[in-house]
Structure 1
Amino acid sequence: MSRTITQAELRNGSAGVMDALEAGDDFIITRNGRPVGELRPIRAERDVATADLKARLARFLAAGSAEQERAELDAAFGADRLDD
């Protein structure tokens, strides 16, 4: 769940916000009481061995429907965060 902070809180408490981001917290930034942006931690990229990637792609190509393809991609690479 995202924590809501004002523009002034972000400006005046940026070190604490950065610490919280590193700890995995998300923020919604408001200006004049209206949400204007989000801050989220960057996920660490994972290294995937070539053989593992080939196996994952082979399972993806063998999927029989768009839903199965999506499930395979989410399982292999993680679910999208766009719907948060």
Structure 2
Amino acid sequence: MKTITQRELAARSTAVLDDVEAGETYHVTRNGTEIAELRPLGTRRRFVPVDELWRKWRAAPAVDAARRRAEADGFFGGGERDGGDRG
């Protein structure tokens, strides 16, 4: 973590943001008091590899369809399932 003044941030914003993008965290001060933290956003993946999806799917608990249906009916009040008027 680095500390930088508001004035330094304004003067070197491009370089500071490049550092943040590379993983650095800055605390910004004004008149000697820390007022903000500038840090990278959490890393977000744009895709999940297929092998990871398969591992997670295989490790997921089994779903009991009849139990799930009973829970849904209990929550939503049962109702007709033949495509009747829902609205």
TM-score range, shorter chain: 0.5 to 0.7
Q: Which residue of 2 aligns with 1:7?
A: 6
What's the TM-score once normalised by structure 2's chain length?
Answer: 0.54
Alpha carbons of structure 1 residues 54 and 15: separation in structure 2 relative to 1, 3 Å: farther
Is there any run of 5+ residues in structure 2 with no aligned partner, and where? Answer: 62-87
Instruction: Note the C-alpha offset of 1:12.
Output: 0.6
Instruction: Note the C-alpha offset of 1:43.
Output: 2.2
Report matched runs for 1:3-82 at 5 Å.
3-46=2-45, 47-48=47-48, 49=53, 52=56, 55=59
Instruction: Note the C-alpha offset of 1:52.
Output: 1.5
Identity %: 41
Is there any run of 5+ residues in structure 1 with no aligned partner, and where? Answer: 59-84
RMSD of aligned C-alpha atoms? 2.2
Instruction: Note the C-alpha offset of 1:25.
Output: 0.3
Give the Cα–Cα distance (whole angstroms) in 1 for the partners of residues 44 and 57 of structure 2: 14
Q: How many residues align?
A: 56
Which of 1 and 2 has greater Rg? 2
Which runs of at least 4 in structure 1 moved beyond 6 Å after TM superposition?
none
